Every structure is written in structure tokens, then in C-alpha cells.
Structure 1
């Protein structure tokens, strides 16, 4: 057996003992904090504490085991075994480096080493420390498990806050507790309230625990405007419970109407708000596909007061095609969110190839989420985001208003055809006769003239003539000298630009017409394009297509700028009134005429009972000192509860006036609440102020009287 095998054999039992002992010491130190975390924050926190604690315990045990190495084994053998003769280090020495006597001693020790087992060198257990730690951990775990939680077990009653005077023989409330158990979907724990006024989510269970002195016989909880809630006896206390469906006012009546009137308490039902959805990325509702983009990942944020469902639906609508050949498809994709339940993020990855999305199409996405409300979850649809893949055939434009003339892009493409024809003619020059070459060049020049005339329509026809030269030329020209004199453009040859003739045939040629308009910047660029067309036309008709190409290219560049900048907008058509019958004018005939005066219908106000009660509660001569008929006002308050700022406060004020009609403070409070509850009256014409002394003299002067 070599030295390494000997070392591993004799240190292994000690290392195993140390690791086991370390884990037994660390386990109670992990379980106790995990139990506390579970009690305070739930099972997830407890699992995290166990995982982190186990990792720390393993590192601690490994660190302790590393101390049991060769040096420890040599010291342990020399200290515990006399037959090693304080020479245990020779067992792990290299024989080649030892002398004859040392080799002889090494052989003797090797024969003696097996007289005992390696288990004899194991360290003892940490029994005392382990026992103390486990006892402490069990005590902590027991306290965590059996310690009463808020909302569980018998409640602790608080002294009553009603402060009613004691009347002999009549019970009064002396101790109270209100327990609120929210619905499970909210994730809120039950809680106890020392006050009888509270706010709780809709669907919560409200439990009252009350104590009276002297002991009551038939106490009850009296909600305002509804049936009483019966209390049942539980030892020395009285208990009752109710599901919270809506806000209500109530009072605790311990003596069935005997004794002083108890004060009102209110419980407000907090409705579960629907989830809130917003788009984080992209920020704009319309986005264009970028070069090389193959997928899209919009990001949505969904928030809720209690929690958003972990999964949502993404509605994807595709519009593929152009013009009348547009096909629509719609599908819904289930996606999962990330983050906490109250603030989730949804970021789906939409692959263009898998969805069939391509150039010339639009992709519209809309996220649909639900909250965790039970039994019926609330569903909300988020904003729609549009991803547009522009078609390579037709540029896109944004901010369009009115109708767009769809024949305009065809005009813009005709200039490129003229350039192509001119370049083809230049390549064929050697194979054509001079007269044939000149005729074809002039024909292309005629096409350029036609196109120039059509673009001039957008400038009001003002560019039909050639640009004026810097100086006047006295040279005389004739109609057949081959030059353009700025006359009316001749009609196009059959078949040329057939799709473009729509605007030339039916459009109005003047810019001041309501048919079309261009913004000043686009108009200036189009004017430069027309000027370059004229120069190109001039060179083509003279038989120089090579000299015309630079002008034609510049005209094309200006046209493309106009194309990318805007389109032609057609103004909206206004209403067409029927023609006036002139034959009936000045005749006095009134047959068939009807009055144009519209009947004025009275406005039905919804504040009738409230307005009457407000006037009656005033201090003026219309005030009523007797008990006011509050039944109609109470019904009005219940019917208009959705429109009132605080319906419970108004109901409480009505109840106070009903119980004590002579209470001045109660009447003033009710009158103030009615003023805020009534609809604001519409604005009326202000009455003209009476004239002062100077105004009276002026009015007298212009009226012909004496000032």
C-alpha cells in the first residue's frame, strides 16, 4: 500500500464524522429561520432560506473536514499509539530518500499500522452543542406554528369608542372587535380592527365581536336602509358576520331602541380595479420594419391592485396585399408574463416567417390580460400596435388627411421611362440613319413635353412656357423651326401614359381651385423638376439625347423628392344646398312654408327632492321648522348613489335629521351635503348692470331727452 492510499484510508472515517457532525449542528440553525420566514412571508421565502442555509452548512462542513490531512494523521498516530515510536511521519516518506536505518524503521511501522483500525482516530460527536441547538430550534418552530396569527383564533377586544352615557338597567357597548377576512384572490391576510369603521375589499367577510354591560338580551346591528343583522351569544360576547357586497352605514343597538341613540359607523367596500395595460416598446403606435428585421418583440406592462394572471392572449391581425387585393387573418397566441403578480411584463417574440408576414403588409397586435378576481376575472384589452412593412413598389406617407389621388405615382414613374428610351437611342446611334435618329429623338422630346405639361398642372399651368433667358433675344422664330414656343401642350400619343390621363382629363388645371394643393416646399421642388424637363425636352427635339440626359436625371431626382415628401390631397366636398326657386321670390306666396322655430322643451332636472330639501333646510322664509318629509330624499339618495361624491355621508346626515329634526348642526350638515350632491346649474346670460350717473346722461342724450 503506497502513501496516498494509506493517507486516504486512515483520514476518511474522521472526515465523514466531521461532515456529519457539522451538518447536525447547522440543521437547526437553518430550520428555525426558515420557519420564521414561512410565517412572515410564505413558503417561497422559507425555501430560499433553506437553500441558502444548506449551501452555507456544506461549505462549513467541508472547511472543517479539510483540516484532517497528513499532518493531523501523523500527530494523531504519534499521540495515540506508542508502537509508532514518534516516527509516524516515516510512513509517508519516499524510501529512495531515506537511509538504511530509516528504511528499516519505515518497514517496521508499516507492519505495525494495521494492528488498529482507522475508526479509532475519529473525533467525538458535539453532543452538548447539538442538543442545545436542537432544543432551541424546536422551541422557535413551536412558537412559530402555534403563535396565533392576526385574524385567527379568539379576537382581543378593545374598549368601545362610542362614549355613550351609562343608563341604569340599559345595556351599552363596552368592548368591540371587527375582523376583516379578505377574499383569497387578493392575497391579503385576515386582520383585526379595534374600530367599528373600516375599509375592505368587495367580497370580504366582516365579523363583529361585541361585549355589553350589563349583559344584553336581544342586541342587533342596524344597517341604515336595510334589514338588521342578528347577533348570537358566544359566552360573554355577541358575534355576527356578513359578506361585504357594498358600502353601508350601521349602528350597534344593544337595547332595541331604548336609551340614547348609538352613533353611526361606516364600512366602505373597495371595488377591485381592472388591470392597467400600457405599451412600453415601441413608444409609437405605428412602427416600420427595418432593414434585415425578421422578428418583432413588443413589450407590454400590466399592473393590478391584487394581481395579473400569469398568462395572457395576444391577438395578431395580419393585413397582406395592396389595393383591393388585401387579405386579413386573425389569430390569438397564448403568452406568459414575467415579474411579480402585481406588475407583470409580457414580451412575445413574433417571427415573421412563422406568421406569414411579408412586404406590403401590416401586423396589428393587441394584448388581452385578466386579473385574479374570483369568481369572475376582469378582462382588459390593451392598446393596438401596428408594424408596417412598406411595399417596394409604392412609398408610404404619414399624416394624410382627405382623399389621396392614387394616379399621381404613375406620373412620377414616367420620367424614368424617358431616360431609358434616351439611353437606348444613344446605344443605337451607329446603326440608325441621321434622319431616323433625329426623328426618334424628337419623338422622345414630345413625350417629355407631354409629361412636363402634366406636371405643370400642379403648378397652375404657369410653367408651360420656357424659362425666360437673362436677356431678350431678337431672333425671329417660326412654328416649324424645331423649337418649343411655350404653347399649349399637344395631346399624348395613343397608349402613352394611359393610366396617367385621368388627372389630365378630369383634374382642374389651376392651383387656386379647391381640386388640389401643394405645400410651398413641395411646390418649389416640383418647379425645379419642370424647369429641368424643359431643358431635357429642348435638347431631345434638337437631336441631342446625350445632352438631354443630365437634365432628365436631375428632373427625376427632384420628382423623387416630391414623391417622398407628399401626395396630392383632394379637399373634402362641402354640403350641396338645394337651388333657390327664383320664381317665388317677391310674390308673397307662402304655400309649403313652415315655421323654423324649434320648440323649447323643458329640461327635466334630477335634483327635485334634493333641491326642495335644500331650500327647506335654509334660514330664510322658506325654511321648514317642522319635521321634513325625508323619505323621498332618502330614496333619491339611494337612486343617485352612483352620481354622488359620498352617498354614505349623505345617508348618515339624513338619518341624523330624521332622528333629531330640531338639531341645528344636523340640518346644516345635511344642507351642505345636498349642495355638493346636486348637479351644477347650467350657465345663464348675465343680467346687464344698471347704468350709473354718467351712463344715464349718455343714454338720455342719444335718446333725444334732456340729460
Structure 2
């Protein structure tokens, strides 16, 4: 198979040598034409031969780089199935080990089954055309320019006229060199355009030439800062580091008119993306767990990933409020291209001490090559769960009742853990996603508050009341097997099974056969001190829910932690069973009813509508629509507003560029329309007002007139 590599390299060398030779011949003709015009055919022939020989030598030296090793590297870069092992085809087969020989056979078989395509470099048409275009211009100049001995200049005639004024500097040539950061792997480029895109952190080098030469020059940025240009041998140069998108203008001293703004867009480095390949589902139930739990992840990044990643393994121990977590870290090494790596692992659950009723959670953490601070991304969690031991002996009605008794709400400790995780992930989430997740935690906090509120006789806010849980037992053990005394006045006989209430409803089954206290107003489950502690916990839950629903998890954490402390005190308190009593409501104060007093009630007057002059965006939009000249103060106010409200504008730099274009050419109709469209997108929507009542037409008008005149009353 080394013959295949030789054939590929031979074709590439021929292509590169031919392209370099064609370009060199054009340059040779371009050099020979002026020599022929100045010194004749002999000198022109020598110049042309010398330049052609030099071009041939350079083309030959460049073509030598495209050897068999180059072909092997190109095949590895273009085909993943060769697994970066094509170079084995060039090695001595006797010097290879067993594994290397086996890999060599696999690569040879794959190349035979799927022959490589054309790996020759593309024709350098740009260089070839440029060389021959220069040659054509040089030949035309040599033929058109008259030949002969120059005549001596006539003596200057004294004149009293004033010298012609010097022309303002003009930008005649510009080059911009972009050097991306080293970690991106992108080669440096040079362009004649001044509007470009570049990765964040790139070094920008300007090389500008003016005619005539100005006394000073600079790059004026849109934010008012300047990058001074330094005078070189025949050009002005400057350099800076690109941190964010910017607008700039080339400004030279003595320039008659300002040029347009140029834009450089800073392309940010995207964060890595991690996907789970194996297992296909996030939750795996295994009883018993396997000896080997296979895991496979895929990670991608636009500029490459670090070869090593961390596999975070967490084992949960316990249940309810008494859950503990044990963290483990393993280092994995990826396979594949640096922009797309695959990480595989096989975990033995017994190595982590997994027991029945516990979970093993795995996540992969990868880092990209951004310098100096790499970006970190984590995959979704995959869970291996060893289920609890099924209950034995739960038969008949007892089994039906016990199915709905376990606690099925989030615990207070879990809400705290999720809130802390949400705060840590806030920089990676959008505002809408962050608010949605915080609101979901607020809903869980509300459900947990209602769950504990049933022990204080609170009314349910919506839906049926949840069943009691094991967090707060309903009686002492000595009161009987089912948690009630035998003489408590309840009918312990089960209802007729043939006519159940709410068939299929777990709450109905519990109410019919589980024998719960159905009057939360009369619940005297706890002693007064314990009830007061529980009431304090509910107050803290109220505040925690309030801040979570307002997307403020950081403010909700102190209240959630205090609620957890109160719940722990309630769980550790002594429980007693008191006699059931009736509801005692406070008497109604008849003197305060229908009094019409409004002391302490804040007025709810509507906010005054905003005037058109208060909003600079609206004022500028209206001025642009009138067709007349727009005042400079109006444009300045809009530009200041855009600087202070960048989040409300989709593209602040486009708005600044549109304002600058209108300043330069106030009569430009297209510039006015572009700026007006951008202002319309950034304009604040008007507040909803009260719709006017219908007048009722002619009949309604006559009716109102009769009422006002007094005839309608008669």
C-alpha cells in the first residue's frame, strides 16, 4: 500500500510544481518587459531567464514537501476510519510489532475497500492570475510608453503665482493581519478588507499607506478611544488585541472628510458540548447491579478539547432528610480528533460500596483549550439505581393502603441542594431558563409547605389534601397498631369493598381503608410548643417560596435553611395524642363592618403616560419620519441611550454605525430608513390604556342629550 501513498504524493508534487512554474513565468515576463523598454532585448532575455530559473527552483523546493509522509498525514486528517495509523504503511514491516502489524493490515484493507480520493492541492489560480495580470500590465506599459532620449527640461520661468495647495491625505492601501490565539489552531491571515471577523483574543496588525503622507494618523474607535498609528519606512502601522466587537475609522491629520466606520466582529469561543451515548436512558434500574456498568460520552468543541476529562461519580446513602453523598473522581482519556473526543469507562458498583436502595450517579466534566481560562462543561447525569427490597406480607387492604403512604414530595434538604446548584449554574443559563427552574423550585416549596401545613389544620390551596407522611407520625406506638386508641370514637370497620368511593384514586383508598383524620381544622396532633415550631417552619417556607417564584434563589436560601432547622426540631420532639375538640373561631367585631374607612390603604392611581419627548428613541423615530433634517442633539441622545441600554438593542454597533452614516450624509434616504428600522425594533412598546366606551351611534347621542336636558326624566 506504500505505492498508493507514492502515487498520491507524486500527483500533489506535479500540481504544486506546475502552479509555481506558471506563476514564476508570469513574474519573469513582468520583469523582462521594463528591461526591454530600458535596455533592449539582450538585457530583457537575461532578466527573464534569471527570474524563470529562480521561480523554477522555488517551485521544485516547494513540491518536495509533498512526499509520502505528507500523503499519510493528509489521509489521517481526512478519514477517521484510518485511526491516525496510515504512517505504518511506510514503515519496515519486519521492524513492526504484532499489534502494529495487525493495525497495518487493517489500514491496508480499508484503503483497498475504499480507495482515497484526490488529495492534490487546489490550483493557486489567484497567484497565477495575479502574476500574469502584472505581466500584461508591464508589457502594455513597455509597448505604449515612447522610447527615446529624454529632452532636457526647459528653464523655469519665474512666476509670482502662489504654489498650489497640498492635497489632503488619502488612504491608498490597507492591509489587516489577523493572528488568532494559539489554542484555536487557526493560521494567521492577511486581508485587504478592513471589515472582518476574528476570534476573541486575536492580535490585529494594521499596515496603512497614505498619499501624501500625513503628519499623524490614528484609528478612532466608536467608544471615543484611539489607537495611534506609528510611522514606518513607507507605511503607518498599529496593533491591538481584540476583546469585543468594535467600530473604528481611519483618521489622518489634514483629512478633508471623514471616512466611513469599519466593523470588526469578535467571535467568542463556544463552550464544549457533552452528550451521553451509553446508556441510552438516564435512569437504569438493576437488581442486583451488574459487575460492570458501561459508560460512553461524546464531547465536541469548536477549537479543541483537552485530552483528559474527569468522571464525577456520586453515591447517595440514606433517604428522606438524612441523605448523604460520597464523591469520587476518575480521570478518563479521550480518543479521536481534538475537536470531537470520545470517552469510555466501565464502573464496578461494588468498588463504590453501592448498597440496596442507593443510587450511583455519573457525570463527565470536560475542558476546552481556551487560554488562559478554559471553559468547563458537564454532561447530563446518568443514574444506576439498586431498588429497595419489596415489602413482603403486604396483602389485601393493608397493601393497598401502604402504597400511598411513602413521602412523594421533595424534601426540604433537596430543595436547598437544588437551589445551590441553580445558583452555581446561573452564568451558563439564559434569563428565561433560570427563571423557569427557580419557579419550578418555588412550586416544590409550596407543595412541601402544604404537606406540613396539614398538621396545623391549614386549608389546601388547590386540589385534594395530600395524605399524611412518615415525616410526622400521627400517634405513639402505645396507642395501638394502627396509630389510634381503641376507644377514640372512630369507626374502624372497613367500608363495603363492593362500593368504594373514588375507585382507582389512591387518596380515596387511603380515606376509605387507611383511616386518616379527615378534619384538619380539628387536628390536635402535636403539643403547643411543637406546633409553634412547625408554624415557624411554615413561615420560613412562605418566604423561601416567595423568592424562588421571583427568580431569586440566593435570597431564598437563608429561609429554606431555617425551615429545615425547624423541621428537624419538630421531628425530634415528643409527640402526644390529645382529645379531638371542635373549632373555636374568634367572635366577629360588628362595629368594624361596612364602616367605609380606608385608613392604611395605599392609593392605586395609574402611572402618568409617558410623553413623546421623554423617550429619545421615540423622538428620533418621529423626526426621521418627517423627512426633514434631524438635529444633532437628537442623534447624540439616541447614541447615549444605546450605550446605557445595550441589552434592549439587538445589535448596538449596527445602531451606532447607522447614526454615524446619517451624520456624514444627512440627505441619504437609505441611511434614514435603516436607522428608523433599528429604532423601531428598540422602541419600548406603549402601555396598555383603557379603551374608549362606544357612544352608541346617533341613537345614543340623542338619548344622552335628552338626559342632560331633563326631558328623559319626564
Matching residue within 611, 626, 643 for 2:618: 611
1:637 and 2:637 equivalent?
Answer: no
Contact in 2 for aligned 1:609/1:636 (Cα 8 Å): yes
What corresponds to 2:194 in structure 1?
A: 196
Deviation digits for residues 460-489 of structure 1 (CA, Å, limit 9, x no counterpart): xxxxxxxxxxxxxxxxxxxxxxxxxxxxxx
What is the aligned partner in structure 2 of residue 281 from structure 1?
278
Match of 2:234 among 225, 228, 236: 236
Pick the aligned partner of 2:344 from 344, 347, 352: 347
Maintained 8 Å contact 1:607/1:678: no
Query: For the residues of structure 2 that align with 1:681 and 1:509, how far apart are their CA atoms?
Result: 65
**Structure 1 counterpart of 2:678:** 673
User: Does structure 1 conserve the Cα–Cα contact (< 8 Å) formed by 2:304 and 2:369?
Assistant: yes
Deviation (angstroms), 1:627: 3.0
Is 1:225 the counterpart of 2:223 in the alignment?
Answer: yes
Q: Deviations over 1:287-316 (max 9, x none)?
A: 312555223233333222212222222222
Q: 1:609 and 1:502, CA in 2 relative to 1: closer, same or farther beyond 3 A? A: farther
Q: Is the CA contact (8 Å cut-off) linking 1:303 and 1:342 kept in structure 2?
A: yes
Q: Tell me which residue corresponds to 2:267.
A: 270
Contact map agreement 1:31 1:50 (CA 8 A) in 2: no
Superposed, 1:503-652 pairs within 5 Å as: 520-521=503-504, 581-584=587-590, 594-595=600-601, 598=604, 608-619=615-626, 625-652=630-657
> Is the Cα–Cα contact under 8 Å of residues 76 and 86 in structure 2 kept in the other structure?
no
Separation of aligned partners in 1, 2:698 and 2:491: 64
Structure 2 unaligned blocks of 5 or more: 11-63, 97-120, 128-133, 135-164, 393-400, 407-476, 514-537, 543-582
Structure 1 vs Structure 2 CA RMSD: 5.4
**C-alpha spacing 1:591/1:681, structure 2 compared with 1 (3 Å):** closer
What do the CA deviations read for 1:652-678 (whole angstroms, capped 9, x no partner)? 122233444555543443232222123
Q: Choose 32-41 or 242-251, whichever is displaced more.
A: 32-41
Structure 1 residues 298, 237: closer, same or farther in 2, change over 3 A? same
Residue 57 of structure 1, CA deviation = 12
CA separation in 2, counterparts of 1:51 and 1:504? 90
Write the mapping of 1:121-136 to structure 2, written as runs, cut at 5 A.
none
Number of residue-to-residue matches in the alignment: 442
1:498 aligns with 2:503: no
Partner SS, residue 294 of structure 1: coil
Q: Is the 8 A contact 1:274 1:380 kept in 2?
A: yes
Partner residue, 2:467: none
1:177 to 168, 175, 191: 175
Q: For 1:510 and 1:631, locate their aligned partners in 2 and report how far apart those are by CA, in whole Å.
A: 84
Q: 1:33 aligns with which of 64, 67, 80?
A: 67
- The CA deviation string for residues 415-474 of structure 1, in whole angstroms up to 9 with x for no partner, is xxxxxxxxxxxxxxxxxxxxxxxxxxxxxxxxxxxxxxxxxxxxxxxxxxxxxxxxxxxx
Q: 1:174-225, CA deviations, whole angstroms, 9 ceiling, x for partnerless residues?
A: 2222211110111111112231111111000111222233344423322222
Pick from 660, 668, 674 the counterpart of residue 655 of structure 1: 660
Matched with 1:431 is: none
Contact preservation (8 Å) 1:220, 1:229: yes
Q: Decide whether the 8 Å contact of 2:616 with 2:634 is kept in 1.
A: no
Write the distance in 2 (CA, Å) between the matches of 1:226 and 1:658: 16
Aligned to 1:175, the other structure's residue is in SS state strand
SS in 2 for 1:319: strand
Name the SS of the counterpart of 1:390 in structure 2: coil
Q: Distance in 2 between matches of 1:323 and 1:334?
A: 32
Change (3 A) 1:525 1:248: closer
Higher CA-based Rg: 1
Give me the whole-angstrom Cα distance separating, in 2, the residues matched to 1:274 and 1:503. Answer: 66
Distance (Å, rounded) in 2 between the aligned partners of 1:384 and 1:503? 50
Find the residue that maps to 2:198 and give its secondary structure. Answer: strand
CA 1:612 to 1:42, structure 2 compared with 1: closer, same or farther past 3 Å?
A: farther
Structure 2 distance, partners of 1:326, 1:648, is 52
Contact 2:169 2:254 in 1 (8 A): no
CA deviation digits over 1:233-273, x for unaligned, max 9? Answer: 343333221111111111223x4252232122110011112
Aligned to 2:246: 248
Q: 1:115-159 CA distances to partner (integer Å, 9 max, x unpaired)?
A: xxxxxxxxxxxxxxxxxxxxxxxxxxxxx9xx9xx9xxxxxx9xx
In structure 2, what is the Cα distance between the partners aligned to 1:511 and 1:231? 94
Give the distance between the partners of 1:607 and 1:199, measured in 2 at CA.
37
Give distance in 2, aligned partners of 1:191 and 1:663: 35
Instruction: State the secondary structure of the residue aligned to 1:614.
Output: helix
| Distance change in 2, residues 1:691/1:219 (3 Å) | same
**Aligned counterparts of 1:39 and 1:211: Cα–Cα separation in 2:** 41
Do residues 293 (structure 1) and 290 (structure 2) align? yes
Structure-to-structure mapping, 1:30-429, within 5 angstroms? 32-34=66-68, 36=70, 50-54=87-91, 169-253=167-251, 255-291=252-288, 293-322=290-319, 326-394=323-391, 408=405
Supply the distance in 2 between the matched residues of 1:206 and 1:38 (Cα, whole angstroms).
35
Instruction: List per-residue Cα deviations over 1:372-410 (Å, max 9, x = no partner).
Output: 110111122332333221111459xxxxxxxx978858x
CA distance in structure 1 between the partners assigned to 2:334 and 2:384 by the alignment = 22
Q: Is the 8 A contact 1:408 1:500 kept in 2?
A: no
- Normalised TM-score (structure 2): 0.50
Kept after mapping to 2: 8 A contact 1:224/1:249: yes
* Distance in 2, Cα, partners of 1:518 & 1:304: 58
SS of equivalent residue, structure 2 residue 373: coil
Which secondary structure state, in structure 2, belongs to the residue aligned with residue 612 of structure 1? helix
Contact 2:261-2:660 within 8 A present in 1 as well: no
| Structure 1, 577-586 or 170-179: larger mean CA deviation | 577-586
Aligned mates of 1:578, 1:673 — CA distance in 2: 66
Q: Is the 8 A contact 2:218 2:250 kept in 1?
A: yes
Judge conservation of contact 2:227–2:238 (CA < 8 Å) in 1: yes
Distance (Å, rounded) in 2 between the aligned partners of 1:633 and 1:386:
54
Change (3 A) 1:671 1:375: same
Output the CA distance in 1 between the equivalents of 2:179 and 2:703. Answer: 78
| CA drift at 1:641 | 2.5
CA distance in 2 between partners of 1:578 and 1:273 (Å): 64
Structure 1 unaligned spans of 5+: 1-21, 60-143, 151-156, 158-166, 396-403, 410-493, 531-571
Contact 2:229 2:236 in 1 (8 A): yes
Change (3 A) 1:362 1:587: closer
1:405–1:678 Cα change, 3 Å: farther
- Asked if the contact 1:280–1:300 (Cα under 8 Å) also holds between the matched residues in 2, the reply is yes
Task: Say which is worse superposed, 280-289 or 495-504, in terms of deviation.
Answer: 495-504
CA distance in 1, matches of 2:624, 2:486: 75
